[in-house]
Structure 1
Amino acid sequence: MMVPVRCFTCGSVVGEHWEAFTSRVEEGEDPAEVLDDLGVTRHCCRRMLVSHTDLVDVVAPYQ
């Protein structure tokens, strides 16, 4: 997966939360509550995790 390591806006590390975030959201938890539990409080960092789309499988055939 090619999740961004740092927030594009503030530079805070967000990549370390990706696996926990995706696994808990897939289990049915509310994304806002998961981000609160993980300690991601800034709006820019929350945006990085919520809006990320994994495009590696889409782009890989064209390399």
Structure 2
Amino acid sequence: MMIPVRCFTCGTVIGEHWEEFKARAREGEEDPAEVLDELGIHRHCCRRMMISHTDLVDVVSPYQ
């Protein structure tokens, strides 16, 4: 679905960085590690949340 607002492990707010991360790292040509460093996401748990997230809204929405 949508990216969680907070990290499941440490509780840091990460949802506000999703759009910029997606635009720069997933759709662009920048290295995801460098983008996360520039956004200030340094903890491994938060980086995992950002890198491993899959946006499923388009897949699930026809069934509602």
TM-score range, shorter chain: over 0.9
- Structure 2 residues without counterparts, runs of 5 or longer: none
Cα distance in structure 2, aligned partners of 1:19 and 1:5: 12
**Residues 12-31 of structure 1: pairs in structure 2 closer than 5 A:** 12-25=12-25, 26-31=27-32
| Match runs of 1:47-62 below 5 Å | 47-62=48-63
Unaligned runs of 5+ in 1: none
User: What is the alpha-carbon distance in structure 2 between the residues aligned to residue 57 and residue 19 of structure 1?
Assistant: 16
The Cα RMSD (Å) is: 1.1
Q: Distance in 2 between matches of 1:39 and 1:3?
A: 17
**Counterpart code for 2:13:** V
Extract structure 1 runs of 4+ deviating beyond 3 A.
none
Q: For 1:25-60, what per-residue CA distance to the aligned partner results, in whole angstroms no more than 9, with x for missing partners?
A: 122000000000110000000001100001111111
Q: Structure 1 length normalisation: TM-score?
A: 0.92
